Amino acid sequence: MSLQSVLVTLCAALLVVSAALVLVRIIRGPSVLDRTVASEVLISIMVCAFGLEAAINRNPTTLPILVSLSLLGFVGSVAIARFVARDHDRGSDEPSPNNYLGRTGEDAPGRGGEGA
């Protein structure tokens, strides 16, 4: 078994494990943003997998697929960031007592912050 085949097998195994963990986060992830970040990571893993395939087979025809997936990930990230920023401007993410951070990042009064 050559060094190249060992490295390819190791890289492929790491990509499969990371994709499985990301799929778990997409299924379980408590919020929409967690699922969104996980889907962006899944797109990045797919780009890496196609890059690995292109490197192994010395196949330059996968380059358009890599560019398309990268562009899809970027546009998706920007769209989600704008969506979240718009909801934030409307005031839909009011702080709850469990995750309060003031305007300067201080803890809520009575929770170990300045006012305690």
Q: Which residue has the higher pLDDT, 40 or 112?
A: 40
Residue 62 per-residue DSSP state = G
Name the least confident of 7-21, 63-77, 93-107: 93-107
Report phi then psi at 26, rounded to 5.
Answer: -65, -40
pLDDT at position 13 is: 97
Average pLDDT over residues 65-69: 91
| Separation between Cα atoms, residue 115 and residue 92, nearest integer Å | 26
| Separation between Cα atoms, residue 82 and residue 53, nearest integer Å | 34
Please list the alpha-helical segments (H only) found in the chain.
Answer: 3-28, 32-57, 63-90
Residue 30 per-residue DSSP state = S
Q: How many CB atoms lie within 10 A of CB 22?
A: 20
Mean of pLDDT over the chain: 81
Instruction: Give the pair of three-digit tokens for residue 106.
Output: 């201080």
CA distances from 62 to 15, 24, 70, 71, 106 (A): 18, 28, 12, 14, 49
